[in-house]
Structure 1
Amino acid sequence: MWALSDTTPKGLFISFNAAGDDAVSICGDVVRNTDDTVTLTDDETGNSITLGIENTKDDEGTDCVILTSENGTCILYEVPGANVIDALLSIANS
């Protein structure tokens, strides 16, 4: 999951694999670097992650964003915010 706005210096990044281990979550300050990357630093832990960001289209022509970090690469597609909130609430309530 990825949330970033041009109007706020805060960001949210949550990453986990299908097995449910090796999870990363960061919520805090975002610095836009000069090399098409952003660095997010967690407000509570001070942990940070730097992500490469590439706006592109997939093989079918659908807009997507490719995020690259030291942990790997993921491809993100736009979804309605309500779907994200519903999914998070479902996880929290399970």
Structure 2
Amino acid sequence: MPGLIRGVARTAVVAGTATAVSNRVSRRQQGRWAAQQGYEAPSRQSAYAAEPPAPPAAPDMTSKIEQLKQLGELKSQGVLTEAEFEEQKRVLLG
């Protein structure tokens, strides 16, 4: 049973990390394509120039902190080794 829980927990961590990395790669690739084509996609802000810019996205940092806490809990429970923990932390923090 502990092996099953460890496998499920590891899968959850890897899936969450993979999703975050995939989203980042997609955003970077879109930026590269836009730069190659010599233009940027029109933004909502240009259509509403009178509106002030939105504040920076705090939930992104909040989600990273939550994921780091989860990684720390998995490490303390023995689900992740020190090396696995460090690798996942490195990927998460980019």
Shorter chain as denominator, the TM-score bin is under 0.3
Larger RCO, structures 1/2 (Cα 8 Å, 6+ apart): 2
Q: Which structure: larger Rg?
A: 2
Between Structure 1 and Structure 2, the one with more helix by share is 2
